[in-house]
Chain A
Amino acid sequence: MQDNTSDRPPDSSSAPLGDTQSGTPSNESVDQFVQLFAKHQRRVHAYIGAVLPSRNDADDVMQETSIALWRKWSSFDQSREFLPWACGVAHIEVLRHRRKYATQRVYFNENLMQDIAEEVLAQSEIAELRSEALVACLRRLNEADRQLVEQRYGGGVTALKAAEQLGRPPSTVYKALARIRRGLLDCVRRRISPELRG
């Protein structure tokens, strides 16, 4: 099990990184990056989403983080773990974004961002269990709620836009989504608690 969870690229000591300056990275380099990024991108996204509650901000920073990771990939020390490095890059992008728009928007202060980051880290211990539980809980939604979730999240639109598309008052959609999210969290907690206690 441990062998399968190593973050190091296979044969990283001999694999050339390729010429990223010229925009023609080697296949090996691309493969290594793709594998590691694929494995960890959801966690990076979760981290950004927690410190930047605005969806547009989080999306922008996830974009910038993806770009930054690729740009810096050639200098990544492959004897190190990928996820801490990726989260470190994400954190820098969060701070850059916050500094850039600080006069236009309100953000959490840096202390709270740090606290949130630590909490995300602490909870990541059971992140996989949560994800598995969430899939099961989504399957238990009734048809109306499932449609609303699909409209809102699967459609990649805001709750306001989803309300327009469904022809329902925004306040009604907000309340329904809040209820569904809370119900999903309760469901996830119930499903993972026995395993945590075991």
Chain B
Amino acid sequence: MNKPKDSADRTFQPAADRELVRLVNACCDDHATDGDIRRLEERLSNDPEALAWYVEQIGVHTSLDWSVTAQDAALAASVLNLETPFSQRSRPRGRERRYGREAIGYALLAVCASLVGIALTGWALQQRSAPSEAQLAARVPTAKITHPTDGARWVVLCSNSRPDGMRTDVFPNETVHLTSGQMRIDFEQGAEVTLTGPAVLQVLAPDRAVAVRGKLTAVVSEEAIGFAIDTPRAHVVDLGTRFGVEVDDLGQTDVVVFEGEVDIAYGPIEQRSNDWSRRVMRMGEAVRVDDLGAAQRIVSIPSERFAAAAPSDAPLVEPVIADIRDNIRGDQSWNYYEVVRAGLREDALAYVDRESHEWNGFDERGLPAYLLGADYVKMFNNDKVQSDYELSVTVARPALLFVLFDDRVPPPEWLVRDFTDTGDDVGMDRGRFRNLGGTMNESFASGVGPGVSIEDRLSVWVRRVEKPSSVLLGATQTPHNRLNMYGIAAVPLLD
């Protein structure tokens, strides 16, 4: 939604909008019908000015109503024999309260109430102010907001929680609320965090931030190694990498490693973070820490989900490949398949566990035209040796499903049975990669474009999938560990 205007600038005249006034007052006085709530929802959803007025008017109502909480505190306090200024004027509300079970919480409420003297006659006021321009100029920002997209709207909250407009300098303990669009936050120490709205990020220090809600991708250069992101359920420390984090409203946290490694600690919010589980996550791994603090594997991730992971010029299209499932990884494995939406092209990265293996045309003629712009799956090249491997590919609509299979070994039975060899080939440009033992193999150079630095030839097999459904694929069925794991691509089946 649009950034709200200051009250002084608003021209909305509620008196002229009798329906809205009636609906809001019905809510305030507890006689709104279900239909009233739905209608109010409709009105507020489509009218930012009405929404702003609603919040103002409800704000008056809740301020008047505030004494009720103090009364509850007084009731609880009387249970605990605590004296408060409200103990002489408490009135029951006629609703069951759970004082016994959580008495300590209410006792605290009571103490709070006595501290601030809240009631109709006592608004305890504390004037807060944003830092002046001179104060801002005297300080060095911890991070800077850069590259906001068109339509990006945000507000920076000072460390005292006061909003201070759409400024670009961010200081320690300030919070960036991005309501729409996308932006990058460049941290002083070198980390670049791309936020996708709606998102809330608190900047703690040059090397640390809290992802309160929303989605971010962090690119961390060597000098910024150690950059940390906290979430309600996880603590992620970068070890020189590119990774994504998404936090939902319940604090559930997804962490995805696109390159390099991160240290992750995770656990329930009730537990101290020192007691959380810890693990190193590597390229090609993703995990969901649920709202109870338990870790679960994320099996597949669409490329467009995280800003810096998707091809920047990828067109917005309906997905063809909807889901991927395999039979060999339990919750102990955090490996994920990346489904790259409309992303197959020359030099497209082929595997989630290889830094440089790229799809290319086998010769200068390039990739077959029907494959360009296809959805494709970045597989695990190491799965080429899994003899009992099965993979379920779900297509969201009628499609041509392609398997790109290494010519150095005979095609397995399932491939010959269910697919047809098109007679076309594609090439694999390996580049440098990490061996299974972890050492870097520098034997192969990387080229750019079709037919350049091609090490392997793979045949294009095809199958028509007439309706949205799942297709089961099998293993390479060979002990040969120097071939490539097959690739998968799909394009819509046109009439």
- Which residues of A come within 8 Å of B, CB atoms? 1-2, 5-7, 23, 25, 30, 33-35, 37-39, 41-42, 45-46, 49-50, 53-56, 58-60, 62-63, 66-67, 69-72, 74-75, 77, 79-81, 83-84, 88, 91-92, 95, 105-112, 114-116, 118-128, 130-132, 134-135, 138, 149-150, 152-160, 170, 174, 177-178, 181-182, 184-185, 188-189, 192-193, 196-197
B250 CB-CB contact with A under 8 Å: yes
| Contacting pair A81 B161 (CB below 8 A) | yes
Which segment of B267-275, B311-319, B418-426 sits at the interface? B267-275
How far is A91 from B173 in the complex, measured between Cα atoms in Å? 21
Q: Which of B21, B161, B177 contacts A178 (CB 8 A)?
A: B21
| Contacting pair B126 A39 (CB below 8 A) | yes
Query: Which residues of B lie under 8 Å from residue A105 when comparing CB positions?
Result: 34
Interfacial residues of chain B within 389-445, with CB under 8 A of chain A in the complex? none
| Contacting pair B104 A138 (CB below 8 A) | no
B27 CB-CB contact with A under 8 Å: yes
Chief secondary structure at chain A's binding surface? helix
| Contacting pair B269 A66 (CB below 8 A) | no
B349 CB-CB contact with A under 8 Å: no
B495 CB-CB contact with A under 8 Å: no
How far is A158 from B212 in the complex, measured between Cα atoms in Å? 36
Query: Which residues of A lie under 8 Å from residue B328 when comparing CB positions?
Result: none
B111 CB-CB contact with A under 8 Å: yes
Query: Which residues of A lie under 8 Å from residue B102 when comparing CB positions?
Result: 67, 70
B38 CB-CB contact with A under 8 Å: yes
| Contacting pair A156 B67 (CB below 8 A) | yes
| Contacting pair A95 B177 (CB below 8 A) | no
Query: Which residues of A lie under 8 Å from residue B177 when comparing CB positions?
Result: 118, 121
| Contacting pair A124 B60 (CB below 8 A) | no
For B1-12 the 0/1 string (1 means CB < 8 A from A) is 101101110000
| Contacting pair B271 A75 (CB below 8 A) | yes
How far is A118 from B44 in the complex, measured between Cα atoms in Å? 13
Query: Which residues of A lie under 8 Å from residue B30 when comparing CB positions?
Result: 54-56, 158-160
Query: Which residues of B lie under 8 Å from residue A6 when comparing CB positions?
Result: 159-160
Q: Which of B62, B67, B68, B111 contacts A46 (CB 8 A)?
A: B62
| Contacting pair B69 A41 (CB below 8 A) | yes
Which segment of B115-123, B353-361, B479-487 sits at the interface? B115-123
- Apart from A121-B155, A178-B25, A197-B8, list 17 A-B contacts with CB within 8 A: A1-B128, A7-B161, A42-B118, A45-B69, A46-B59, A50-B54, A50-B55, A59-B72, A74-B272, A75-B271, A80-B210, A88-B212, A116-B55, A156-B67, A174-B31, A181-B60, A192-B8
Q: Which of B6, B32, B111, B129 contacts A53 (CB 8 A)?
A: B32
Which segment of B77-85, B90-98, B219-227, B447-455 sits at the interface? B90-98
Please list 25 pairs of residues, one from A and one from B, whose beta carbons are closer than 8 Å in the complex, sorted by A's number.
A46-B59, A50-B59, A53-B37, A54-B30, A55-B65, A56-B95, A58-B62, A62-B69, A63-B98, A70-B108, A71-B105, A72-B270, A81-B161, A84-B212, A115-B51, A123-B52, A123-B56, A128-B125, A153-B67, A153-B120, A159-B28, A160-B31, A181-B61, A182-B14, A182-B57
**Most chain-A Cβ atoms within 10 A of its Cβ — which of B72, B198, B204, B249?**
B249
- For chains A and B in complex, what number of residue pairs have CB atoms within 8 angstroms? 272
How far is A70 from B111 in the complex, measured between Cα atoms in Å? 13
Known contacts A116-B51, A128-B126, A192-B7: A80-B25 contact under CB 8 Å: no
| Contacting pair A7 B8 (CB below 8 A) | no
How far is A119 from B7 in the complex, measured between Cα atoms in Å? 12
For B228-252 the 0/1 string (1 means CB < 8 A from A) is 0010100000000000000001110
Query: Which residues of B lie under 8 Å from residue A121 when comparing CB positions?
Result: 155, 157, 163, 177
Query: Which residues of A lie under 8 Å from residue B270 when comparing CB positions?
Result: 71-72, 75
How far is A50 from B102 in the complex, measured between Cα atoms in Å? 25
Query: Which residues of B lie under 8 Å from residue A66 when comparing CB positions?
Result: 105-106, 108-109
Q: How far is the CB of B459 from chain A (nearest CB, A)?
A: 48
B41 CB-CB contact with A under 8 Å: yes
How far is A138 from B64 in the complex, measured between Cα atoms in Å? 10
How far is A88 from B38 in the complex, measured between Cα atoms in Å? 25
Query: Which residues of A lie under 8 Å from residue B51 when comparing CB positions?
Result: 115-116, 119
How far is A1 from B52 in the complex, measured between Cα atoms in Å? 30
Q: Which of B62, B123, B250 contacts A135 (CB 8 A)?
A: B123
How far is A155 from B163 in the complex, measured between Cα atoms in Å? 34
For B145-184 the 0/1 string (1 means CB < 8 A from A) is 0000000000101011111000000000101010100000
How far is A71 from B249 in the complex, measured between Cα atoms in Å? 19
How far is A189 from B118 in the complex, measured between Cα atoms in Å? 22
| Contacting pair B202 A80 (CB below 8 A) | yes
Query: Which residues of A lie under 8 Å from residue B120 when comparing CB positions?
Result: 138, 149-150, 153-154
Query: Which residues of B lie under 8 Å from residue A95 when comparing CB positions?
Result: 249-250
Query: Which residues of B lie under 8 Å from residue A1 when comparing CB positions?
Result: 128-129
How far is A124 from B71 in the complex, measured between Cα atoms in Å? 25
Known contacts A41-B69, A62-B69: A153-B64 contact under CB 8 Å: yes
How far is A57 from B84 in the complex, measured between Cα atoms in Å? 26
